[in-house]
Chain A
Amino acid sequence: MKHKTFFWFFLPTALAMLIFIAAPIVSVVMQSLFTPHEAVLVETKNCGPFGCTTATTIDQEATAALRDAEPMGRFVGFDIYKDRGHLATAEVAEAWHSRDSLSGFFGDIYDLPFYRALTFTLTYTFVVTPLLIILGFVIAISVNSLHRKLKGLVIFFSLLPMIVTPLVGSLILFWMIDSRGILGNFISYLANDPDISLKASTPLMWVSLIVYGIWSSAPFAFVVFYAGLQTVPRDTIESAMIDGATRWQQTRYVVIPHLMPLVTFVALIQLMDNFRVFEPVVGFQAQAHATTLSWIIFNDLGGETRQLSAAATTSVLTILGVAILLSPVLIRTWRDFRGRA
């Protein structure tokens, strides 16, 4: 009976997950294993406003016949995974054999688009996530100790970065750090160098993106922790006070342990979100300095010729990356669960 109730209760969710999560993943995996047919090219005479030329075009009839024969395209297995745009196995092996020093090897690896994007994505994820948790916690503690009448207003302003659409938020910052923008001018005034520009320097662009990431995500951590703070048992705090605990000691030994499950939750969500960072790279037009896995997918789909298989492959690799990233946290949660049961 209990199982039956659960089944009917869970069925709509399960169906939705199947249709909106499992099916697209299966579709993406399939697309990453197939590529378009080999193009049948023909020489044609093309005419237009600038005269006639002989050029190459695709023979549509022959290609249509190929497509009808194999509607899925060519099966290529893991070829796309191994090509230069993705894991670049051949290029990595070549760099390993030809380079004597590790720095030379990593220099070559960093020249490959996937590893370059992965480097920034991981740096971003592992710098932004802890910092936004700390910042969110500090904001939550500070707001919680404010006078009741001030709280509403401060909470509203603290949430603004999350309310602002990410693309708009990053565009505003992008204009401010422009070499003719308010922050850009201020920095070149501080550095006493008219040519210094955040947008022209890779390290400064990375810093800008990371600062933006913390700014835009900290409110999420703040909201969660602030809600958690309302559930801290007064009794425990009062006993700690009676025992002579300072404010710092109360926070360290009572509040933080109480909020620990929430920290895990925020870390989980934010690791996942930050690994898929995308909007700031577009908003900051940062592609010359920093690319991310999501940005590669977008770029493959946005060219004049769309590369569906390449985009699908990067999507699968991103999903795998998220899974690897989350595994320690998930395993820990599972152990806690088992421990308690």
Chain B
Amino acid sequence: MYMKKLALAGAAALLGSAAFAGGHGAACPTAGKVSVVGNEFPAIQTVGAGAMSCAGGDVEVSTNLTADHQKINLAGMQGDPAEYTSAIIANSSIVALMNEDVIRPLDDLVAKHGDGLKPNQLVTINGNVMAVAFMANAQHLVYRADVLEEIGVAPPTTYEEMLAAAEMIRDKGIMQNPVGGAYAAGWNLAQEFNNMFLGYGGQHFKPATAEPSVNSPAGVEALTMMKALSEYMNPDFLTHDSNATNAEYRAGNVALMNMWGSRAATLVTAEGVPQEVVDGFAIAGPMTVGGGSIPASTLWWDGWTVAKNVSDADAEATFLAMKKAIDPSILADGDVATQAVWLIDGYEPTPAAVGVFAAANAGTIPYPMLPYMGLMHTALGNELADFMQGKESAEQALADVEAAYIAAAKEKGFLK
């Protein structure tokens, strides 16, 4: 199943390759149209800028990096010729593009121009290379070392310890709502449920079917834990996405939170962050829950694809420009090196990468790459807010999730 991990050996290979220096320089294409759509966090901005650097002469490059990329990438790739020649996606969002068959297999281009890409960067689906991954991501613990020292506890390794620490911080009057979490109703809330649910050993679907199985003891336990955590959060937690949660941490209102590795690195570099927050900033691996051994988190990769409905020349130009954008030489910039856990040859983990590496080594499950997972995620996002507000029981909320998912899966032809 999805239990495969980025093995220690893989991590070691990543570290080992640091000795390597230059050799196969990537070249920009000489002609063609390159148009990139993707998310907008710092690492992806770097990749977008890298592709843009190929613009000039007969090469036309444009990027559209936005948090709403998922709303536009599919529509922008369905035309013929496609508006976007490349979409930067993650293991969750590649599914929507695969489902509609808008991205092309890259095997021929990898054979021709793929030198310098590492085998584990190639995302292979049914024997075809469909994407080139350039970074890994996971949610993990971000905490305030100074606050934990003050109450005399070690950084929590389980959610139960996190709750206990939060209780102590509140009791001592250090912070009123010491726990942060991206619990905004919708995608974020569903993702936090996925983390907790997998941590309790849950499975979203009955094996080898599209039938839901979230209304299970693991589901109820996951929701109960989320509710317990929310008691220590800012009362507006159902409107807090990653950005708002980070703002709370920066303002010194939060001491413990589960945060994305890709956002943790730049957390305290913003202007106006109080000195004690900067000094106390610390990260650790993801936590487990309910005595389980698998962290309550998911592993992600981000990578780029090439559109199917573009000419071979543009596809080749796109491949070259995107490969140039993730050339090992970009790591020479210290800021770029800390932006993400790069899967690029020559990457040396920075202190900011500790959390994601710990997640990979602890056997965190990759986010399920299933055609119907997006529908489940949407159903979870829509139906769990009632429970979090105490308006209905966990069982009722999960029954609603399953009913909403089944209606959507029937419409999309995944269930009869």
Contact = CB atoms under 8 A, between A and B. Distances in A.
A202 B385 CA distance: 11
Given A53-B4, A111-B400, A285-B184, 15 more contacts: A35-B413, A36-B412, A38-B413, A44-B125, A44-B126, A47-B122, A83-B410, A84-B406, A111-B392, A200-B238, A285-B185, A303-B375, A305-B374, A305-B378, A309-B411
Interface stretch (A5-13, A56-64, A139-147, A161-169): A56-64
A49 B301 contact: yes
Interface in A202-222: 202
A39 B95 CA distance: 13
Interface stretch (A97-105, A191-199, A229-237, A272-280): A191-199
B112 interface: no
A57 B133 CA distance: 19
A197 B389 CA distance: 13
Interface in B81-121: 91-93, 95-96, 98-99, 101, 120-121
B7 interface: yes
Interface of A: 35-39, 41-58, 60, 63-64, 74, 79-80, 83-85, 91, 111, 113, 178-180, 194-197, 199-200, 202, 284-289, 299, 301-307, 309-310
Contacts of A288: 185, 238-239, 385, 388-389
A39 B371 contact: yes
Interface string B308-352: 000000000000000000000000000000000001000000000
A94 to B, nearest CB: 11
B104 to A, nearest CB: 11
B184 to A, nearest CB: 6
B278 to A, nearest CB: 20
Contact of A113 (B3, B91, B382, B406): B382
B370 A56 contact: yes
A185 to B, nearest CB: 12
B174 to A, nearest CB: 15
Given A46-B125, A48-B91, A304-B70, A199 B369 contact: no
6 contacts: A50-B299, A58-B101, A200-B237, A288-B385, A288-B388, A304-B95
CB-based closest 9 A-B pairs: A51-B4, A304-B374, A305-B374, A288-B385, A44-B126, A288-B185, A303-B378, A38-B413, A197-B235
Contact of A84 (B96, B98, B404): B404
B414 A39 contact: yes
Contacts of A194: 176
Contact of B377 (A44, A178, A303): A303
Given A64-B101, A307-B408, A307-B412, A41 B235 contact: no
A307 B404 CA distance: 12
B403 interface: yes
Contacts of A38: 413-414, 416
B92 A58 contact: no
A312 to B, nearest CB: 11
Given A35-B412, A35-B413, A85-B408, A50 B4 contact: yes
A310 B184 CA distance: 23
B24 interface: no
A195 to B, nearest CB: 5
Contacts of B403: 84, 91
